[in-house]
Amino acid sequence: MDVPVERPAATKERLMSLDALRGFDMFWIIGGGEVLAALAKVHPNRFTLTLQSQLQHVQWDGVHFEDLIYPLFLFIIGVVLPFSLARRRAQGQRLGSLYLHALLRSLLLVVLGSIPAGLLQFKHWPFMGSVLAHIGLCYFFAVPFVLHLRWRTRAALVVGFLYLYWLASIFIPVPGHGAGVFTEAGSLASWIDEQIISGRLWNEGPASTPSGVCIILWGSLAGEWLRSSRSGQRKAAGLALLGLAAVIIGTLWSFSFPMIKRVVWSSSYVTFACGVSLLLLALFYWAIDVQGYRKWAFFFVVIGTNAITIYFLQSIVPFGDIAKVFVQGIRDHSGVLAPPVFPLGALALKWLLLWFLYRHKIFFRL
């Protein structure tokens, strides 16, 4: 049994809470959400139907749990950045090497994200709606800010961007629609995407890249806080208080600038999503790295240490079809419990693959 022990603030060792939180986030992407959503088919009631709806994206205005998953991943990238850059600098890497590493990492993410859609299909490339390509772009543009700007300057930059984006969305007219329009066809961001990508609207289009960079910078501020010499309890409390404040501000802001993820990534949405990310980070950090409750997190750590690996593999490997070979018989005899069997089998297959990699210390980190 884990013993809750206050541990000294650790700034040099790898934080297990970050791997666990990344794994928690990726759990929903690789099938966890599909498994839980299937419960509504087993026993439809208010709870299961609400759960099912929360695991689906909002069409336009509003936020479900599903809409907070990807921002959390970007946020975690930002949290890790101060640690990784400080480590590389301590190893003697110069500025040119750091930039080269960021460029190669970004290009690799863009290429990996482009493979499932056809690497040589250059129409719209690299803006093909690929999450990995979008991560690569956001990461590349965020690195210089973290390298050269102090945390206070970064914080001012984040606040300034969100505020100016709000003003621009209110006062800059969209051709054919006017100013202050937040409908799907009339938003400023969707119009920008239409001009760049021939009318195709994506969740992760170029108009959302600045907001994605902003989320990474939010995360970098949390990373700087975790690298400080403060006590673990104080770090967790600070993250939680800031997260709560961001959730409240984002909610109030939404009355003027609606929370919109698709294409727009509005200021209220970014603020709210970062607030939720801060609260989750505070919870995971406090429970795992401060209190020492670690055993429960192993399931998520296995996923989090190879998150990019499984995200890429599931786009080219038919895990669902493979899982059917093993669980078809179980499903045939499950009666009303049949709906979750296939998604649960696919999820188990992915986790076992990740466990094999984890056990043999095979990690694909970009």
Evaluate if residue 326 carries a pLDDT over 80: yes
Evaluate if residue 122 carries a pLDDT over 70: no
With H, G, I as helix, E, B as strand and everything else as coil, classify residue 61: strand
Residue with tokens 């700007």: 149
Q: What is the pLDDT of residue 315?
A: 87
Which tokens is 33 given?
């959400």
Would you tell me the crossing angle of helices 69-90 and 209-227 to the nearest 10 degrees? 50
- Taking all residues of the chain, what is their mean pLDDT, rounded to a whole number? 88
The pLDDT tens digits of the residues spanning 199-252 come to: 444 455 666 889 999 999 999 999 999 999 999 999 999 999 999 999 999 999
Confidence of residue 197 (pLDDT cuts 50, 70, 90): low
Contact 343, 35 (CB under 8 A): yes
Rounded to 5°, the CA angle 345-351-353 comes to 105
Count other Cβ atoms within 10 Å, centred on residue 86. Answer: 15
Round to the nearest angstrom and report the end-to-end CA distance of the chain. Answer: 34
Confidence of residue 164 (pLDDT cuts 50, 70, 90): very high
The pLDDT tens digits of the residues spanning 78-113 come to: 999 999 999 999 998 899 999 999 999 998 888 887
Residue with tokens 């973290």: 146
b/e burial code for range 309-346 (CB count within 10 A of at least 16 → b):
bbbbbbeeeebbeebeeebeeebeeeeeeebbbbbbbb
Contact 7, 26 (CB under 8 A): no
DSSP 260: B
Q: State how far the Cα of 355 lies from the Cα of 259, in Å rounded to an integer.
A: 37
With H, G, I as helix, E, B as strand and everything else as coil, classify residue 174: strand
Q: State how far the Cα of 173 lies from the Cα of 47, in Å rounded to an integer.
A: 42
Q: State how far the Cα of 28 lies from the Cα of 347, in Å rounded to an integer.
A: 10
- Output the CA torsion 213→215→218→223 (10° steps): -90
Q: What is the pTM (predicted TM-score) of this model?
A: 0.90
Work out the average pLDDT over 261-273.
92
Work out the average pLDDT over 175-184.
80
Work out the average pLDDT over 163-181.
86
Q: What is the pLDDT of residue 4?
A: 42
Evaluate if residue 3 carries a pLDDT over 50: no
Contact 39, 51 (CB under 8 A): yes
Contact 107, 126 (CB under 8 A): no
